[in-house]
C-alpha cells in the first residue's frame, strides 16, 4: 500500500510555513497490516490531530473504514466545530469509507476497483455537529 498527498501549491504557500502534507499521520498514513488514509482540509488544525494516523489505528482496533473516518473527524470537530476536513480511509482488503466536516455541500472522492474498469464517485455528507457532540 502507498499513500500520497499534496498541498495547494507554491502560489498559496506562506513563506516558511510547513503544511500538514509532510506531517506523517496528518495528510496521509499507511500501515500495510491495516490500511491507509488520505486527508484534505484545514491543515493547521488537522496536523494537531493526525487524523490519518488516528483512523488507521482505529481500524487496527476493529473499526470499519467509515466508522474510523467518522471517529477521526469527530475528534477535530469537538475542539474546532467549523473545521473543514475530509478523510478517505481504506483497509487492507479494499473496503473504503470517508467522513467530512465544514464543506459547503458534500465532500467527494473517487475510486477504482481492482479491475480499473470504472471510476466510482462517492459523495460524503458533512457530519452533523449536534450528532458529533453527543457521541462518546
Annotated binding site for substrate: 17-20, 40-43
Binding residue numbers: 17-20, 40-43
- CA distances (Å), origin 13, targets 21, 87, 124: 12, 22, 28
Contact 66, 37 (CB under 8 A): no
If 0-12 CB within 10 Å is exposed, 13-18 middle and 19+ buried, where does residue 111 land? middle
Amino acid at each position: 500500500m502507498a499513500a500520497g498527498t499534496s498541498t495547494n501549491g507554491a502560489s498559496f504557500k506562506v513563506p516558511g510555513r510547513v503544511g500538514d502534507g509532510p506531517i506523517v499521520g496528518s495528510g496521509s498514513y499507511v500501515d500495510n497490516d491495516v490500511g491507509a488514509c488520505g486527508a484534505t482540509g484545514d491543515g493547521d488544525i488537522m496536523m494537531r490531530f493526525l487524523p490519518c494516523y488516528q483512523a488507521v489505528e482505529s481500524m487496527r482496533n476493529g473499526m470499519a473504514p467509515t466508522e474510523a473516518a467518522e471517529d477521526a473527524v469527530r475528534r477535530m470537530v469537538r475542539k474546532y466545530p467549523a473545521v473543514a476536513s475530509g478523510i478517505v480511509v481504506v483497509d487492507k482488503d479494499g473496503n473504503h469509507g470517508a467522513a467530512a466536516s465544514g464543506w459547503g455541500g458534500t465532500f467527494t472522492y473517487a475510486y477504482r476497483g481492482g479491475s480499473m474498469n470504472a471510476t466510482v464517485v462517492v459523495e460524503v455528507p458533512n457530519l452533523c455537529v449536534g450528532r458529533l457532540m453527543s457521541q462518546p
